[in-house]
Structure 1
Amino acid sequence: MNIKFFSAALGLALTATVMSASAQKEYKEGVITYTIESPQGTIDAKTYFKGDSSAYSMQQGPADIKFIGTNEGTFFAVLVDVPVASIKKAAIATPAELEDFKSKSPDFTFTPTTETKVINGFKCKKVTVKDTKSGSNYDAWVTNDITIPTNMMSTHFKKAGGIPVQFTTLQMGQAININLKSITGDKVPAGIFAIPADFEKVTISDLKAMGGGGN
């Protein structure tokens, strides 16, 4: 082989590798906006992430609802604030409730495909998803344009081969469709993962009995 040609080809390959690596943006802290479609309707939810913690908030009727948790499932809480009814409840999962959540979580396996498309500005590739517990199959689109810590929305997609952008996941056995609309590297608000002192602390079971919801 011509040595000069080989050197030039190697140089181009290395340059392409560096350019590809530099194109991937890493977020260690920030805010993601997801669109969530469920039988209850379609809403936008903001997810805040930093380190091993994440929180997402949404509006449901007169209620402001926020979910707080750790990425490994060692802590989970639902904060419900209904100003018109003077209700402020913080439902904190007990160890038994956390175990129950884990037992009801899907067990996804992933198979990559050759299909690609751009979704909300992200270059995505399609993977087929199978829940080995139920036998259900789904499609997911993941990207390698960015890296972010796992959050409560993406916790079941750690082995998907990329960051999930358009995907279906399960919450308490119910399938919900999620679309990652945008992401910023903004600093998360101070105290976003804390429970305010003026919230009454209850269990998840207590909240459900009052007509609230859990994860």
Structure 2
Amino acid sequence: MKSKLFTAALGVVLSATAFNASAQKAYKEGVMTISSNMMGQNIEIKTYFRSDSSATAFNSGPAAIKVLTDKDAKSMAILVDVPVASIKKAAIATPAEIEEQQAKLPVFQFTPGTETKVINGFNCKKVTAKDTKNGKTYDIWVTNDISLPQIGGAKVYANAGGVPIQYATFQNGQSAEVTVKSIVEQKVPAGTFGIPADFDKISLDDLKAMSGGN
């Protein structure tokens, strides 16, 4: 398993949030497809969501990864399935571990811009996000075309003025740009947000040991 790629993708989970109840289209349940370049690799991430839960799935080498969290990110589990190695593990994060990861996220001040463009069918406007911790700035693109239930618990972009469509995610001091490719309203398959019975439950420390300490 390419552990650095896996770790970076967790930033997508921790950076997402909920926005703008007055938007034109309100998605209650469905799947969001996101593209990103992380650690020099293009990956596709799918996030299944409903009002109380989300499941973010992607591949890292031979491993299929799924990150489960509730809407407030008070609970989180990382499922790792490596068929070629007969590995099925579910790492359960403690509240302290979740809080530690969220404390590392930036705290933004937002300045709306005047530039607009269409990204994958979403009408977007440019917003500058300044991290008050280190002064770094990031250009993000948000839309008011839609609203989503809360996905993940870190409200990094809660005051951005819209739903981020092209934005930065953060994990362990690293950032990566992600772009929302599509959002489809659909019924999420049964069992999407649960841990299958054939997965062994382990700690995050156990998972780190499996992936070389990363």
Tell whether the structures are fold-level matches, with TM greater than 0.5: yes
The interval holding the TM-score normalised by the smaller chain is 0.7 to 0.9
Cα distance in structure 2, aligned partners of 1:65 and 1:205: 17
Distance change (3 Å), C-alpha of 1:212 and 1:67: farther
Whether the 8 Å contact between 2:73 and 2:154 is mirrored in structure 1 is: no
Q: Which amino acid aligns with 2:200?
A: E
TM-score by length of 2: 0.85
Q: How far is 1:125 from its partner?
A: 0.3
> Matched residues in 2 for 1:178 and 1:213: separation?
26
How far apart are the structure 2 equivalents of 1:154 and 1:48?
17
Q: CA RMSD in A?
A: 2.1
Match of 2:39 in 1: 39
Q: Per-residue deviation at 1:108?
A: 1.7
Q: How many angstroms apart in 1 are the aligned matches of 2:212 and 2:67? A: 12
Do the aligned partners of residues 131 and 50 (structure 1) sit closer, same or farther apart at CA in structure 2, a change above 3 Å counting?
same
Deviations 1:56-100 (A, max 9, x none): 101111110001112322011110000010000101101221121
- TM-score, normalising length: structure 1: 0.84
Q: What SS does structure 1 have at the residue aligned with 2:37?
A: strand
Superposed CA offset, 1:175-213 (max 9, x none) = 011100001001111111111111111111210111079
The one-letter code of the counterpart of 2:97 is E
Match of 1:115 in 2: 115
* Equivalent in the alignment of 2:200: 200
Q: Would you say 1:189 and 2:200 are equivalent positions?
A: no
Alpha carbons 2:72, 2:152 under 8 Å: kept: no
Cα distance in 2, alignment partners of residues 133 and 188 from structure 1: 38
Q: Does 1:75 align with 2:50?
A: no
> What does 1:138-157 align with in structure 2 at a 5 Å threshold?
138-152=138-152, 155-157=155-157
SS of corresponding position for 1:205: helix
The structure having more radius of gyration, on CA atoms, is 1
Q: Which has the higher helix share?
A: 1
Alignment of 1:1-215 (within 5 A): 24-152=24-152, 155-211=155-211
User: C-alpha displacement at 1:154, in angstroms?
Assistant: 7.8
Residues 151, 187 of structure 1: alpha-carbon distance in 2 compared, 3 angstrom cutoff: same
State the Cα distance separating 1:155 from its structure 2 match.
Answer: 4.2
Q: Answer yes or no: is the 8 Å Cα contact 1:55–1:152 preserved in 2.
A: no
Contact 1:127–1:141 under 8 Å retained in 2 = yes
Q: Distance in 1 between matches of 2:153 and 2:99?
A: 18
The residue type paired with residue 111 of structure 2 is T
Instruction: Indicate the percent of aligned positions where both proteins have the same amino acid.
Output: 57
How many residue pairs get aligned? The number is 194
Higher relative contact order (CA 8 A, sep 6+): 2
Please say if residues 154 and 164 of structure 1, whose CA atoms lie closer than 8 Å, have aligned partners that are also in contact.
no
Q: 1:77 to 1:22 in 2, by over 3 A?
A: closer
2:196 partner amino acid: P
* SS of equivalent to 1:158: coil
Please, which runs of 5 or more residues in structure 2 have no aligned partner? 1-20
Q: Could you tell which deviates more after superposition, 149-158 or 118-127? A: 149-158
Cα shift readout 1:96-133 (whole Å, capped 9, x = no counterpart) = 21121122122122111111011101100000011112
